[in-house]
Amino acid sequence: MDLSSLQPLLAAVAGVRVVTVGDVMVDRFVYGDVTRVSPEAPIPIMARQSEALMLGAAGNVARNVAALGGLAALVGVIGDDEPARDALRLVGQEGGVEGFLIRDDGRPTTLKTRFVSQGQQLLRVDLEQTHPVADEVERRLVRTLHDAARGAGAILLSDYGKGVASPTVIEACLAAAAANGAVLIVDSKARSFRRYGAVDLIKPNAAELAYATELPAETDAEVEAALARALQLTDSRAIVVTRAAKGMSLAVRGQAVRHFSRPPPEVFDTSGAGDTALAALGLALAAKAPVDQAIEFALLASSVVVEKAGTATASPEELIEAELAAALAPSEAKVVTPERMARQVARWRERGLKIGFTNGCFDILHPGHVAYLAQARSWCDRLIVGLNTDRSVRALKGEGRPVNDLEARALVLAGLASVDLVAPFDDDTPIALIRAARPDVLIKGADYAVEEVVGHDLVASWGGEVRLATLVGGHSTTSTLRKLAGER
C-alpha cells in the first residue's frame, strides 16, 4: 500500500458503520518494577507503579474501527460487576463507539489482568465463564444485533470462545448481514470453522488455522495446504490467515492462494493485533475496497499497533506516518518533525524506555562527535538529537557556516547506530524540543557546567537528570576547517 491508495481509502472509510459482535472483555494491565525474588518461593516480587484498563476482544475491535475513522456499534454481553461498569465507562469514553451491551447476571464480565515489568508480561490472570449464552439473554442479544446492524457495511464476529457466538447468534449475524447487504467476517478461536456457515470471510491466525485443520502452517506451502483443507471444512467464501511477521495469506474458492507482506515492524506487544487487523479489514471491505487493498490496509494497521504497549489502536495519521517511513531508507526514517518525535516518545514511554536528549550543530562529523553520541546513548534506551537548522547554525557560528546543509547533517547523524531520532529545530535553543520530548536524561559536553545546559531546570522539574559527556581531545569542527584552509 502506498499513499496514493492509502489516503483515498482513509477518506472512504470515514463514517462507515460497522457492527462488532462477540465476546467483550476488559483488559487490565498492572505495571511495576521487579528488583528482587520472594523469600517465600522462587517468584519475582513486583512493586506496583500503575495500571490501565482497556476494552478487549470485540471491544478492542470496536475501538480500532473508531480510531480508523469508522462508526462502531459494539454488541456483546457483560455481567453485573465492577468490570462491567468499567466496560460501560470505557465504551462511553470512546468517540465513535456506540455500546449495545446486554447484562447477564449469570456470568462475570470477562477480565484479563496482565502483570508487566520492563515491557515483559510476568503473569496473566483470567476471570471468565465460557458457557454459551441462552434463553432471554440470547434472545435480547439477537434483537439488539438486528437493531445495531441497520445501515452497517460490515458485521465482525469476534469469537474468543467465551460463549457469545452461539449457533443462534451466528444465524442472526448471517441474517443481519443479508438484510443489510453487509460483509460478514469471523475472527475465530474455534476448532471447527463449519459452525459459522456461509460467511464471507474467516480470519484465523496461523496457530488457529493449524489447530482447525490439524496441519502445520509455518511455510507458504504449508499454509496453502492448510487453507485448502480449511475451505473443505467450511462453507465460508474465503479465508485469510494472519501470520505475524510473515504477513497474511488469502484463499478464495476457485483461486490460487495469495500471500501479502510488508517490512516487519519493531514488535513490542502483539496483544490485540488480531483485533486491529479484523477492524481494518472489515472497515475497508465495508467501504467497498477490493479485498487485496483491504488486506494491505489490515497489515499496515496491525504493524502500527504491535509497536505499542497493550491492546492499542492505530489512527489515520499513524498509518500515513508508517507508510511514509516504510518508503524511506532507515536513516531517512529517523529524521522527524517535533510532532512525530512526540508521538514516538509516547510509544517509547509506554514500553518503559528511558529517553535521552542532546543537541548541536554537528556540521562536520568527526570522531569526537561519534564518541560523544555513543556515550550519550549508553545513558539511555533511546537517544534523540536536536539538530540546528542552517539558519540556526548561522546565528550561532556566523556566515560561512554550516559547511554541510541540514539534510546532509541530519542523514549522516541518522546513519549512526547510537542515534534513534534526529529532530531539526530552527530556534536559537532546543528548549521547545526539550519540552515536547520530556527526556529522562539531558546530555551535553563536559565543557558545560550543569547550570549552563539549556533546559536543565525543566528536566530536573520532572525528575530527570543532566549528564555531561567526556570530550575527545584533538577533534573539533573548527580545527577541521582550519586544516582544510591550510592553517596550522
390-395, Cβ contacts within 8 angstroms, sequence gap of 24 or more = 391/426, 392/361, 392/425, 392/426, 392/427, 392/428, 393/361, 393/363, 395/428
Evaluate whether 88 touches 3 at the Cβ level (below 8 Å).
Answer: no
Based on the domain organization, do 260 and 346 belong to the same domain? no
Q: Which of 326, 343, 362 is the last residue of a domain?
A: 326
User: Catalytic site residues?
Assistant: 275
Report how far residue 236's alpha carbon sits from residue 332's, in angstroms, rounded to the nearest whole number: 44
pLDDT at residue 71, as a whole number: 97
H helix intervals, 44-130: 58-67, 82-93
102's enclosing H/E stretch is strand 97-103
The residue that leads in pLDDT, 370 or 481, is: 370
Q: What is the pTM of this model?
A: 0.78
Based on the domain organization, do 82 and 145 belong to the same domain? yes
Based on the domain organization, do 350 and 308 belong to the same domain? no
CATH number (domain holding residue 463): 3.40.50.620
Question: Does the structure show a pLDDT above 80 at 476?
Answer: no
Task: Give CA torsion, residues 273, 275, 281, 283, to 10 deg.
Answer: -130
What are the backbone angles phi and psi of residue 342, rounded to the nearest 5°? -60, -40
CA 324 from chain centre, in angstroms, equals 16
How does pLDDT run across 6-21, given as a tens digit for each residue?
999 999 999 999 999 9
| Count of domains for the chain | 2
Evaluate whether 384 touches 413 at the Cβ level (below 8 Å).
Answer: no
pLDDT at residue 309, as a whole number: 73
pLDDT at residue 128, as a whole number: 95
CATH number (domain holding residue 141): 3.40.1190.20
Based on the domain organization, do 221 and 85 belong to the same domain? yes
Taking alpha carbons only, the member of 477, 362, 359, 331 closest to residue 427 is: 359
Enter the DSSP assignment of 418.
T
Based on the domain organization, do 291 and 425 belong to the same domain? no
The residue that leads in pLDDT, 484 or 40, is: 40
**In percent, how much of the chain has pLDDT > 90?**
76
Enter the DSSP assignment of 335.
B
pLDDT at residue 485, as a whole number: 59
Based on the domain organization, do 319 and 434 belong to the same domain? no
Residue type, 60: N
Based on the domain organization, do 300 and 411 belong to the same domain? no
Taking alpha carbons only, the member of 162, 123, 128, 110 closest to residue 29 is: 123
Residue 328 neighbours by CB under 8 Å, 6+ apart:
none
How does pLDDT run across 311-362, given as a tens digit for each residue?
789 999 989 888 887 777 777 889 999 988 998 998 888 778 899 999 999 9
Residue 56 neighbours by CB under 8 Å, 6+ apart:
24, 25, 26, 27, 110, 112, 272, 275, 311
How does pLDDT run across 144-201, given as a tens digit for each residue?
999 999 999 999 999 999 999 999 999 999 999 999 999 999 999 888 999 999 999 9
Residue 356 neighbours by CB under 8 Å, 6+ apart:
376, 377, 379, 380, 381, 382, 383, 384, 439, 440, 441, 442, 443
pLDDT at residue 283, as a whole number: 98
How is residue 166 written as a grid cell?
452461539
Based on the domain organization, do 281 and 367 belong to the same domain? no
Report how far residue 349's alpha carbon sits from residue 334's, in angstroms, rounded to the nearest whole number: 17
Report how far residue 412's alpha carbon sits from residue 430's, in angstroms, rounded to the nearest whole number: 20
Domain that holds residue 221: 3-326
Based on the domain organization, do 346 and 221 belong to the same domain? no
pLDDT at residue 333, as a whole number: 84
pLDDT at residue 92, as a whole number: 94
Based on the domain organization, do 306 and 351 belong to the same domain? no
Number of other CB atoms surrounding residue 413 within 10 Å: 22
169's enclosing H/E stretch is helix 167-180
Q: Which of 326, 350, 379 is the last residue of a domain?
A: 326
Q: Which of 297, 326, 355 is the last residue of a domain?
A: 326
Based on the domain organization, do 172 and 272 belong to the same domain? yes
Chain position carrying cell 461498569: 85
Report how far residue 401's alpha carbon sits from residue 284's, in angstroms, rounded to the nearest whole number: 50
Task: Give CA torsion, residues 316, 183, 288, 270, to 10 deg.
Answer: 30
Task: Give CA torsion, residues 366, 367, 368, 370, to 10 deg.
Answer: 90
Question: Does the structure show a pLDDT above 70 at 480?
Answer: no
Based on the domain organization, do 139 and 249 belong to the same domain? yes
pLDDT at residue 350, as a whole number: 79
